[in-house]
Amino acid sequence: MYIGRFAPSPTGPLHFGSLVAAVASYCDARKNNGRWLLRMEDLDKPRTVKGAAETILHQLEAFAFEWDGPVLYQSARDRFYNEALEALRAKQLIYPCTCTRKEINDSSSSFGIEGAIYPRTCLQHPTKPHAAMAWRIKTDAASISFIDAVQGEISQTISSDIGDFILKRADGLFAYQLAVVVDDAAQGITHIVRGADLLDSTPRQIYLQKILSYPTPCYAHVPVACNDAGEKLSKQTLASPLDTSKTSLHLIQALDFLGQSPPAALIHEDKCAIWQWAFSNWRLSKVPATKTLKLATA
């Protein structure tokens, strides 16, 4: 059975970029007679805004999204992330690291997709005593490749493109890469439709899935909505919260952004009629195969 999900981070209210990802994942699930689950990725407690999760739920309800089952909150799942970390430790696949970001930048001689590649200092030498300790996973030279339903073939060599990445931070918080893999497996997610800003993270997640003997879902990364300056719509770029008094307009804008070409007359219909049209006419193959798209109304 098709099981999809939408997993916002409650760092603020949903904006148009969030709506695009939600609409894409929701339509793809319903088109395939699947379930659509909702997960609050409130793992990064310092960035989580009080009341934002409730605001997001109210916004989704205003747009007539209907999710299946209870909402999953990452903040309540540390035990499961720790179990996965312990499983990797038992296989001697992770190691402690006390290096600071500055030390890594100063000592690294190679750079990858996200900057300096960690030179494995703490794998080769003792860690600093009494220093805060993160946990990194050992990566190898194997290539991780997959076919994205929107972006096409993607290939990445984790060791040289990313390096030994962190699974648990020095402040004690579990890293997104580990948590999302554990949660997708726990929820039985079969298809992940999300923004292309997460495309570079997918090989790392597949790498962890293989090591933890989890199934690998099918992936589809839709374009990220950008403002006129080419910046991703986000809280940092001052993206406007969704106006729940204009739900029909925003839904049609999102469908149009996703290449679905909704008819102009649909603007006069209610949300239920718009969703019925969207489910019947949804084609993932029509979504533009680009990582970003400018939104004129951003």
Same CATH topology for 3-76+223-294 and 79-176: the answer is yes
Crossing angle of helices 16-31 and 271-281, rounded to 10°: 60
* Residue 232, phi then psi, degrees to nearest 5: -60, 135
22 touches 14 (CB < 8 A): yes
Neighbour-count burial of 25, counting CB atoms closer than 10 A to its CB (0-12 exposed, 13-18 middle, 19+ buried): buried
pLDDT higher than threshold 90 for residue 233: no
pTM exceeding the 0.75 threshold for the entire prediction:
yes
User: What is the CATH number assigned to the segment(s) 79-176?
Assistant: 3.40.50.620
Residues present in the chain in total: 298
Q: Please state the domain extents for the chain.
A: 3-76+223-294, 79-176
Exposed, middle or buried, 173 (CB in 10 Å: 0-12/13-18/19+)?
Answer: middle
271 DSSP β-pair partners? none
Structure tokens at 95: 């190691």
Q: Where are the alpha helices (DSSP H) in 112-169?
A: 121-124, 158-161
Q: What pLDDT does residue 292 have?
A: 79
Among 74, 56, 54, residue whose Cα is nearest residue 177? 74
Give the CATH number of domain 3-76+223-294; options: 3.40.50.10490, 3.40.50.620, 3.30.300.30, 3.40.50.970.
3.40.50.620
pLDDT band at 298 (very low <50, low <70, confident <90, very high): very low
Position 296 scores a pLDDT of 58
pLDDT tens-place string over residues 187-215: 999 999 999 999 999 999 999 999 999 99
Q: Which helix (H) or strand (E) holds 97?
A: strand 94-97
